[in-house]
Amino acid sequence: MPVLRLFLMTVFTMALGATVANASTGFPPFQLAYGRIPSATPTIFPLTEPGPGIDLAKSIVENLKLAAARVLSAQDAQADHANRTRRAATAYKPGDMVYLATNNLTMLRR
C-alpha cells in the first residue's frame, strides 16, 4: 500500500505541476511543449481520420509566440520596478580614492 500511495502522490504532483500556469508566460510548461493540457486518459484517433496534427502545430506556434511576448513584457515590468529605486551612479574622476573589497577576487597565492 505505501508504494501505491507514493506512486499516486507522485503522479498527482507531476500532473498538477504540468497544469499550473507560469506567472510570466501565462501557460503551463506542458502546454508550451506539447500544445495541450495533459489529460488522465490518452486521446485515440481512428486511423481513417487525419487527426489534429496541423491545428495542434499551429496552436503550439501561436502559444510559443504569445509566451515569448509575455516573457518580454514581464522582463520590462521587472526592469522598470528595479530601476525605480536605483540610485544614480557615482561619478568618479581620475585620482579619486576608493575602497576596494578583495574578498571576492581570485588572486594567485604563493
The model carries a pTM of: 0.49
What pLDDT is attached to residue 33?
A: 77
DSSP state of 27: S
The CA-CA-CA angle for residues 42, 47, 49, to 5°, reads 90
Cβ atoms of 37 and 56 closer than 8 Å: no
Residue 88: its pLDDT value, please? 87
Mean pLDDT of the chain: 77
Higher pLDDT, 34 or 18: 34
Model confidence at 98: pLDDT above 60: yes
| Of the listed ranges 19-23, 79-83, 90-94, the one predicted with least confidence | 19-23
User: Which residues, in sequence order, are CB contacts of 45 under 8 Å at separation 6+?
Assistant: 51, 52
